[in-house]
Structure 1
Amino acid sequence: MASIAGSALSFAKPVKVVNTNSLSFSGARKGNAFLRLQPVPMRFAVCCAAKTDTVEQVCEIVKKQLALPDTTQVVGASKFSDLGADSLDTVEIVMGLEEKFDISVEESSAQEIVTVEDAASLIDKLVSAKST
């Protein structure tokens, strides 16, 4: 079975990928049949999950920095903006993370932080680089 952009196709014979826009396959009839596909924008996110303890520590710093009630649930997928953080709050969170983990976050990297998981992954990366 071949899967194309979320749609499932099944073929009785093997499928050969020719390029990103077409597939060729042997049909039941004489010759080859071609299926032309329109390019479909795809998004791929390649990331390594941050360590659980790093995520938990970032959650605590975010809750403290934003003065969130203890009942507020903050998890790896939590977006700073959804928690009420503005750009100044985000800068203060990054400063708190730098102090806690004894790291230095470049401004370009800090601007890419949107979620708790983003922050935790960056921290793990910087701490790992620092120790080597």
Structure 2
Amino acid sequence: MAAAAGSSVSMQARPSVAATRISSLKSFSLPNQRNFLSFRVRPVPARLQVSCAAKPGTVEKVCEIVKTQLALPPEIAVTGESKFAALGADSLDTVEIVMGLEEEFGINVEEESAQSIITVQDAADLIEILVEKKGA
């Protein structure tokens, strides 16, 4: 693909097609007026993994408290990735869950921190941080 001096080149493609084409490339070059520009494409992981601070035991306790507070039947699975809203929790339920966690772990969760809790894992991570601070 060559471009004359003073002209511009624009490429537009459907995102899925572009992603497919780019993912199969290792490197490519584009001609410039006097030389070639060279680019190397590196593979990007399809899904990012986030390491968490919470111990598995803490996550399990939080799961149990969430199930109890929401009165979920045994067949409903609650994991670290479970979102409170997806489990049917409204804002009052979330406040009750946070109060149950405070009581169980002997911590105090600030309102700003409580509002950032979306998943069971978020709650478990916050608990680990607060327990560490309390112990220090």
Normalising by the residue count of structure 1, what TM-score does the alignment of the two structures yield? 0.69
1:89: how far off?
Answer: 0.2
Query: Residue by residue, what CA displacement relative to the aligned partner does 1:45-83 show, whole Å, maximum 9, x if unpaired?
Result: 865242100000000000000111122110000011111
Residue number in structure 2 paired with 1:128: 132
1:88 aligns with 2:76: no
Residue number in structure 1 paired with 2:26: 10
| Structure 1 CA distance for aligned equivalents of residues 125 and 37 of structure 2 | 46
Residue number in structure 2 paired with 1:111: 115
1:65 aligns with 2:78: no
Distance 1:33 1:53, change over 3 A: same
| Structure 1 CA distance for aligned equivalents of residues 123 and 89 of structure 2 | 14
1:31: how far off?
Answer: 3.7
| Structure 1 CA distance for aligned equivalents of residues 35 and 128 of structure 2 | 54
**Structure 1 unaligned spans of 5+:** 13-24, 36-43
Relative contact order: is structure 1 or structure 2 higher (C-alpha 8 Å, sep ≥ 6)?
2
Structure 1 or 2: more strand by fraction: 1
- 4+ residue stretches of structure 1 with deviation over 3 A? 5-9, 44-47
User: Which structure: larger Rg?
Assistant: 2
| Structure 1 CA distance for aligned equivalents of residues 49 and 94 of structure 2 | 23
Normalising by the residue count of structure 2, what TM-score does the alignment of the two structures yield? 0.67
